[in-house]
A and B are shown apart, each in its own frame.
Chain A
Amino acid sequence: VFGLSFLNLPFLALAIALPVLVLAYFRKPRYKKRPVGSLFILKQLPESAELPKKLHFPLRLFLELLALALLVFAGLRPFFAESSNLVAVFLDDSMSMSARNSSGNSRLSELSKNFSVDDQIASAKFHLYQGSGSLETPSEELSLSELKERIREVAPTNFADKAGLKASKLLANKSYQKVIIISDQESLSENERLQVISSSADSGMEELANLYLLSPKKSKKENKLKISAKIHLSQTARLASESVSPTVRLLAYKAGGQTIELSQKKVEVRGLSEDIKFIVASNTLEDVDAFQIKLEAPLGVNSIQADDSLWLLAKSDTLDKQLIVSPDFASLKRSGLENLKGFNFTLLSPEEYAGQDLSPYSWAIFHKFTPSSFPAISSFFILPPEGNSLFPVRTSEDSISFAAYKASHPLNRYLKPWLLDGSPAAILNPPAWTEKTIEAEAGPVVLTGESGVYRFVASGLELLPFEGESSPLSSVLFLNSLAWIRAEASINEYRSTGSILSKDEAPETLVGLRGESLKPGELIRSPGPYSSNGKLNFIANSIFPSESDTAPKKYLGLDTSAEAPEATKDRNADLWRVALLLALAVLCADFLIRIFRSHEPA
């Protein structure tokens, strides 16, 4: 209204005080009641019963309501969204944008070609933001032709994109006349200030692109080494009944960065998944530190390229112990959890956990027990809603509510939430808002969901022993989760990490395949081998849960953490002060009227 926008919209809730004030006014006794000894003289005075009703009440009530309304207005921090000639263009340059169609054009280039703007803003100046960059530093002001030129130069990179969240932050920035999003994410809905240029129309490209490589295994067979993995197809690709024939290559990685191709084969993926196996002679593997399995789909349809490459460590890992902390540790012991094949569990009670050295463990499970702080190692929380201070959950009565899941997501393929028959769905890829609670990619796997205005995380999985076919479904889910965490733990001498990273104590700086250095505790985003002091430490198989994560459209424009730029605030800095001063003036007037009335003649 009148070009006004508000920085502090939740303050509007205080407006509820307005009807409360009116109600209080009506409920208030009209007169002070006072006992007197005798009314003999007082009764001879003119009675004042009608006086306040007719004159006093409306004016003072009106003034007080006005003052309150002005206070609420001031609290809303109003400002005039001045008409700006600036347009923000957000370019999603995540890996998924590198998917290619039958013509060999990447999604990014297709979208760039489709990029057009209304005549109204054709002459505007543009700020280009890239998903891989920061929102704090836009590009310099560009003309439309410069912008198109710049977009053509952009190449997809590997990062956790969170395009939806970033778009919502840009939308909250009122200094932009318009925000244009170029992305392959479907859930970004347009509004009057938002224009989405997405690839949703390009159906031939989108779904075939989801090919994943999972479950790497390595086993020795006589003098040969068997390396196997699974290729998964997206659900839509399956429905299309089209077989896909990617090329899979096996590469050996040697210290110093030398990579030798050991084998390659074309695999026809007919169903949901397809096994691939490579058998190589052991004598050819001297000095090999790691193996890389690479997936190259025909026509270049792999969209999530980070998932198309898996690494296996050639050397054994000493950190192969897992910790379970549970108040039920005794019954878990009795159930034989410690003997579960492929795991090396240590069961501890919460009391025993206090002061425990976590360095011997590769990861930990916290069952029905919330540690006072996030543990230093990758952790899986299976927590009851009660007393759960790490993850706020709704109420103890709430059943697990799985909001949605992407069946095609690699993590969900492992977890198989659809096995939980009867449960609606699960998001097992933490959405952007959980980042405030937990650094999801740093280790913990959380269950998340939304219901009404509530969001919850890490609730409800039961830790039950696997009992073969009679296992409760939830325990199947649990075991699948474990499998994902371990990324095929049944091969003892190898460890691949999934996205459970930065778990080693190594205080030294780690160096990646491409020579990128990582400080201790820093998140690893690029897959591949990492070494410190020239010695190979571990392999990171990055599966970015957030790569496929889309911010639901309801997040757009609702992200209160997004602050309008300082410039906008400064321009209107005085508006709330004016409202506050007016409110004070009205209150003063109200007070003066009160004083005046006490002396006015009847």
Chain B
Amino acid sequence: MEAPFTADFFRRLQGLKIRSRRAFLGSRQGGHLSPKKGQGLEFADYRLYAPGDDFRHIDWGVYGRTDKLYVRQFQEEQELEISVFLDNSLSMSEPASKLGLAKEVAITLAIIGLTNGDTVRIFHGEQVEPLRFSGPQAIRRVWKKVMALKASESFEFSEEVLLAAAKSQRPGKVFLISDFLFPEDSCLKSLESLAARSFEIGLVQVLAPEEIAPPIEDSPSELNDLETEDKTVVSMNAKHRSLYENLLHAHLEVIENHCKNKGASYLLFQSDAKLGTEVLDKLLEKGVLN
């Protein structure tokens, strides 16, 4: 694999885990606590002994105090289903660094998940069914598949998220990676739909430096929206830039508030951020990883 997925980077990933605040039911054994009781290390509860229960689980101390047989119950550790919605629509292709960083973040999350025995599903615009991976052996395949993704003309990010949420049978951890430069309502709908299905959401917003602070230009430019093919003429002078920054700030604030309300983590990355340092640090800082 090529930079930034170097040996040093993988060493940094060792011991990292995608943190879920809630327990989710998995389909097989894994590294995350699940609501299912059974084999495990984490004590969950007591219940009255019933014939057939394993004698080894009888808590003899409780029996001494209450004269009743209670058996100890444990929370089962199961795999976590991680869904990554990678926005590879045309809007992420200008500048190309946006989609680049989005893909790198998606791969990083997938690597961490796969290393810990989780199942990773990656939704993107090039095919209807998500890519599904499990087990550490799938790491190289993830890298290859995701890195090969190109900007797709037909990808409607919010709709895809809504559709996937509707079809999902088992909740889990979900990451939405996009520039979120579309109306806040769509974003809110996506979040609501996922929250209603009990998903734990991480929202990763990737913006280019020139989208955060556009350079001042001496003459008006005709700007062409790659996705919608809309056009507008903008004179990015000092005043317009200030106005733009205010509008962007308000937009980001709305998204962040939606995330807070829905219990989702919110992360904003500049597309020129370094994956091995700035991105990982922020994922840890925001509690997405532990």
Contacts and interface: CB of A to CB of B under 8 A. Distances in A.
Q: Interface size bucket, B side? A: 35 or more
Which residue of B92, B217, B220 has the most chain A CB atoms within 10 A of its CB atom?
B220
B177 to A, nearest CB: 14
Interface in A27-67: 30-49, 51-52, 56
A45 B183 contact: no
A201 interface: no
6 contacts: A31-B221, A34-B223, A38-B182, A39-B230, A42-B244, A599-B238
Interface string B111-146: 000000000000000000000000000000000000
A221 to B, nearest CB: 99
Contacts of A265: none
Interface string B68-94: 000000000000000000000011111
A364 B239 CA distance: 84
A602 B181 CA distance: 24
A37 B93 contact: yes
Contacts of A32: 217, 219-222
Contacts of B240: 45-46, 602
A38 B244 contact: no
Given A37-B92, A41-B244, A43-B230, A48 B220 contact: yes
A41 B95 CA distance: 16
B287 to A, nearest CB: 29
Given A42-B223, A45-B244, A52-B219, 9 more contacts: A36-B225, A37-B181, A39-B230, A41-B251, A48-B235, A49-B233, A597-B219, A599-B238, A602-B239
A598 B236 CA distance: 8
A600 interface: yes
B258 interface: no
A38 B227 contact: yes
A38 B91 contact: yes
Contacts of B217: 32, 598
Contacts of A453: none
Contacts of A34: 221-224
Contacts, number: 110
A62 B256 CA distance: 51
B284 interface: no
A594 interface: yes
Interface in A11-38: 30-38
Interface of A: 30-49, 51-52, 56, 594-595, 597-602
Which residue of A41, A49, A56, A594 has the most chain B CB atoms within 10 A of its CB atom?
A41
A38 B90 CA distance: 9
A5 to B, nearest CB: 42
Nearest to A601: B239
Contacts of B251: 40-41
Contacts of B93: 37
A404 B248 CA distance: 84
B104 interface: no
Contacts of A602: 235, 237, 239-240
B208 interface: yes
Contacts of A52: 219-220
Interface of B: 90-95, 98, 179, 181-183, 208, 211, 216-228, 230, 232-235, 237-240, 243-244, 247-248, 251
A48 B239 CA distance: 13
Contacts of B208: 37
Contacts of B232: 39, 42-43, 45, 47
B233 A31 contact: yes
Given A31-B220, A48-B235, A599-B238, A40 B226 contact: no
Contacts of A56: 219
A47 B243 CA distance: 13
B182 A36 contact: no
A41 B252 CA distance: 11
B32 to A, nearest CB: 36
3 tightest A-B contacts by CB? A598-B218, A48-B235, A38-B181
Contacts of A595: 218
B94 to A, nearest CB: 4
Contacts of A51: 220, 235
B247 A41 contact: yes
Contacts of A33: 221-222, 224
B267 to A, nearest CB: 19
B4 to A, nearest CB: 22
B2 to A, nearest CB: 25
A40 B183 contact: yes
Contacts of A599: 216, 237-238
B219 A35 contact: no
Contacts of A37: 90-95, 98, 179, 181, 208, 211, 225-227
A598 B230 CA distance: 25
A38 B89 CA distance: 11
Given A31-B233, A35-B94, A601-B237, A40 B182 contact: yes
Contacts of B230: 39, 43
B237 A41 contact: no
Contacts of B98: 37
A602 B240 CA distance: 7
Contacts of A594: 218
